[in-house]
Amino acid sequence: MKMKNNLLKWSFFLFVFTFVGCETIDLDQIENPSQPSVDLLDPVYAFNYIQLQLPDFVNSANTFTQRVTRQMAMSSGNTYDNAFAPVDSNTNWNIGYNLLNAVKIMEPKAITNREFYALGAAKVIRVYVLMTMVDVYGDIPYSEALQGSANLNPKFDRSADIYKGLLLELDDAIAVLGQTNNSNSEIQDLYYGSQANWITLAKTLKLKMYCNARLAGAELGVTISDKVNEILVANDYIDQQSEDFQFQYGNSRFTPNTRHPMYNDQYELGGGAYIANYMMWAMTTEKKFDLLVGGNGVVVDANLTYDPRIPFYFCKQVGDPGGLDSFTLPRRARPAHYDNEEYFSFYFPTSDDIRTPYLVSNWIGQTGITSNGYLGRDHGDNTGIPPDADKRTVAGIYPVGGAYGLSSSVQTGGDKGALGAGIMPMVLSSYVHFMLAEVALELPAAVTGTSISAAAELEAGIRASIKKTVNLIPDYPYATGSAPVSATLLSHENKYVTFVMNKYNSASINKLELIIKEYFLAAWGNGIEPYNAYRRTGYPSNLQPTLEQASGDYYYTAYYPSDSTVNNPNAPANLRTRKVFWDKAGLILH
């Protein structure tokens, strides 16, 4: 009995130890078995991440900038007070700094491995992101940013200081890109094919910063015209299409979805975001082109003066929105201030017919819509959404990879047009031409010793924009009867250029405004450039006002994101009247 007792006792303890001894008392389980360890970071794949975050960053900056510049309709509020909230800036800020952190984290290993291609390109992208953030927000965390737990409350540096820092960073990036890359490391460059292209971009970014800070050389401690002149004389900047800084989207709908975000929004179901009536009006009605436009927006008569970009920019879902029922077009009366002269056509300012649009792009005269307008939304129209998902005008081939020449619904699950294989334009050669036209006009010293002139750059910009637009996708599908003929396109391009240059050369026109206006039109798909231009110059001055006349202060900078203001005590107060250092013209914007 006693022996049996002992046997039982010991087998009992043994039993306990067998179970307890193994898995349940391992006390060192720090690393997540479902995540790769940080030692596995590979600069090539980190660079891939950076490259793919960039278009998302620009897209999130666009959601704000395109709406305050009337590329897209601002429908989230009827005044500037309620149109945006700090929370709306979160995505842009998050993606931006996340991308910057990825650049920082890849750097040590990239240096060790001598992977200068990826590192240099990543550094250029870093500068583009930071300069964009400065342009949009003004002062932002820079010198104390990205330090993780070492500094959870980074201070906000002055925007001018950041510009200065970025100019130096570009020199650094150019130096890195000048080194020979480790021959055993092969990167996947989604933008260019060589280190030299990235150097050209880096130099162009310098040019862009100086042009943007045209009035604020003192804050940067430089003479802008000298600095611009240096770059122009060296003649290594983006001045042809092959050098364009853009992201090329794909046409895969699922796993992964590689399409242009606006295509995702507008070509699936639900209609997507509205295009601003002003944008479509400025392309068509403002220059009296709308009278030519047929139900599908395509003009085939080569003898007419016409902007060939129109059907590439916009795709109608219905030929004539004028006939829509009263619910689609709200019944409230056209606001009186929409008839103010300051919003009349820039090209035909005395014509009583070309007033700012209302409800659709082509409000003409005092009585209202004629046929064949484009259905968008007015600035600050926050009324309920009518069932017009298959009636709104959507973005066309350029730059989203959409459809061409349709007049039927594209709410068909992503099977229309170029399937979303568009581009995210960032720094295009056309943009650079417009920038140079502006500095040539305003700071003639900047172009001394070069053959650059304002008029020539303006024309080059328009032509580059048209060529880029109509040739973006060589074999896009088109509807019957809207087949594009290259001779017609060229004829339209020439006639359009003639139209604009005649205006430019006429005595009565404001030349700078005309340059900015053309820049505005060419920038379709990128809200950052027109947002900068508007604050720098106040042009276009006839942007459609908010439906509610008392709009409140314009967004001279975007709201800081709530993710920053709530969590970082160093974040400044959110004021829409806060300005970037280069915003020196003292303009009252609307």
**Rounded least distance, CB 168 to another protein, Å:** 20
**Binding residue (CB under 8 A) for another protein from 327, 352, 353, 506:** 327
**CA 456/CA 463 separation, integer angstroms:** 11
Residues 6+ apart with CB under 8 A from 19: none
Query: To the nearest whole angstrom, how small is the minimum distance from the Cβ of residue 27 to another protein?
Result: 5
* Least Cβ distance, residue 26 to another protein (angstroms): 6
Per-residue binding letters, 105-124, with another protein (x by CB under 8 A): x-------------------
Binders of another protein among 420-439, rule CB under 8 A?
421
Residues 138-157 that bind another protein (CB under 8 A): 140-141, 145-149, 151-154
402 is a contact residue toward another protein (CB under 8 A) = no
Task: Choose between 286 and 381: whose C-beta lies nearer to another protein.
Answer: 381
Query: Rule CB under 8 A: which of 437-476 touch another protein?
Result: none
Q: Between residues 221 and 569, which has the closer beta carbon with respect to another protein?
A: 569
Helix (H, G, I), strand (E, B) or coil at 108: helix
Site string for another protein, 284-323 (x = CB under 8 A): ----------------------------------------
Q: Are 363 and 357 in contact (CB under 8 A)?
A: yes
**What's the token pair of residue 144?**
């104390």
- For residue 190, the minimal CB distance to another protein (Å) is 7
Residue number, 226 or 339, with CB nearest to another protein: 339
Half-sphere exposure of 271 (CA within 13 A, CB side): 16
Q: Is 29 in the site for another protein (CB under 8 A)?
A: yes
State which residue, 250 or 295, has the beta carbon closest to another protein.
250
Query: In angstroms, what is the minimal distance from the CB of 286 to another protein?
Result: 28
Q: Which is nearer to another protein, 4 or 487 (CB)?
A: 4
Cα end-to-end span (Å), the chain: 99
Beta bridge partners of residue 369, listed in sequence order: 363
SS3 track for 393-435 = CEECCCCCCCCCCCECCCCCCCCCCCCCCCEEEEECHHHHHHH
User: To the nearest whole angstrom, how small is the minimum distance from the Cβ of residue 41 to another protein?
Assistant: 6
Closest distance to another protein from the beta carbon of 406 (Å) = 18
For residues 13 and 352, which CB has a smaller minimum distance to another protein in the complex? 13
Q: Which residue of 25, 487, 507, 588 would you call a contact of another protein, by CB under 8 A?
A: 25
Q: Which is nearer to another protein, 92 or 465 (CB)?
A: 92
The residue among 168 and 385 lying less far from another protein, judged by its C-beta, is 385
Q: Which is nearer to another protein, 59 or 430 (CB)?
A: 59
Using the rule CB under 8 A, is 189 a contact of another protein? no
544 in Cβ contact with 72 (< 8 Å): no
HSE-CB for 197 with a 13 A CA cutoff = 17
Among residues 105 and 222, whose Cβ is nearest to another protein? 105
Residues in the interface with another protein (CB under 8 A) total 105
Contacts 24+ apart (CB under 8 A), 441-444: 441/511, 441/512, 441/515, 442/214, 442/512, 443/214, 443/224, 443/225, 443/228
Give the number of other Cβ atoms within 10 Å of residue 64's Cβ.
24
Residue 185 interacts with another protein (CB under 8 A): yes or no:
no
Identify which of 472, 531, 527, 521 has the alpha carbon closest to the alpha carbon of residue 497: 521
List binders of another protein among 538-577 (CB under 8 A).
548-550, 561-564, 566-569, 571
Other Cβ atoms less than 10 A from the Cβ of 331: the count is: 6
We find the least distance from the C-beta atom of residue 179 to another protein, in angstroms, to be 23
Query: Is 324 one of the binding residues for another protein (CB under 8 A)?
Result: no
> Is 33 among the residues that bind another protein (CB under 8 A)?
yes
| Closest CA relative to residue 377, chosen from 396, 397, 391 | 391
Among residue numbers 224 through 263, which ones bind another protein (CB under 8 A)? 248, 250-252, 254-256, 258
DSSP tally for the chain: helices H, then strands E: 18, 8
In this structure, what DSSP letter does residue 450 have? Answer: S
> Restricting to residues 55-94, which ones interact with another protein according to CB under 8 A?
77-79, 81-82, 85-87, 90, 93-94
Residue 589: Cβ within 10 Å count:
15
Instruction: State the number of CA atoms in the 13 A half-sphere of 569 facing the CB.
Output: 2
DSSP 8-state code for residue 583: -
Which is nearer to another protein, 87 or 291 (by Cβ)?
87
In the complex with another protein, which residue's Cβ is closer, 237 or 560?
A: 560
Distance, C-alpha 258 to centroid of its chain: 17
Look at the block and give the residue holding tokens 């060192």. Answer: 28
Rounded alpha-carbon distances, angstroms, from residue 245 to 99, 118, 204, 544: 18, 16, 10, 30
Q: Considering the complex, what minimum distance in angstroms separates the CB of residue 432 from another protein?
A: 26
> Site residues for another protein, window 268-287 (CB under 8 A)?
268-271
165-189 burial by CB neighbour count: b if 16+ within 10 A, else e?
bbbebbeebbebbeeebbeebebeb
Among 580, 552, 554, which Cα is nearest to 137's? 580
**221 or 384: CB nearest another protein:** 384
Nearer to another protein, 337 or 584 (CB): 337
Q: Is 20 in the site for another protein (CB under 8 A)?
A: yes
| Residue list 39-58, contact with another protein (CB under 8 A) | 40-42, 45-46, 48-49, 52
Contact flag: residue 384 with another protein (CB under 8 A): yes
Of the residues 349, 413, 444, 481, which one makes contact with another protein according to CB under 8 A: 413
Degrees, nearest 5: CA angle 491-284-496: 25
Q: Whose Cβ is closer to another protein: residue 43's or residue 461's?
A: 43
Q: Which of 104, 288, 334, 576 binds another protein (CB under 8 A)?
A: 104
Only one residue has tokens 């109608």, namely 316
Judged by CB under 8 A, the residue of 187, 190, 292, 304 near another protein is 190
Q: Which of 37, 180, 303, 350 binds another protein (CB under 8 A)?
A: 37
- CA neighbor of 130 nearest in space, from 101, 87, 108: 101
Among 302, 389, 456, 490, binds another protein (CB under 8 A): 389
Q: Which are the contacts of 249, defined by CB distance < 8 A and separation ≥ 6?
A: 55, 258, 259, 260, 263, 401, 420, 421, 422, 423, 424
Please identify which residue in 74, 100, 160, 528 interacts with another protein, judged by CB under 8 A.
Answer: 100
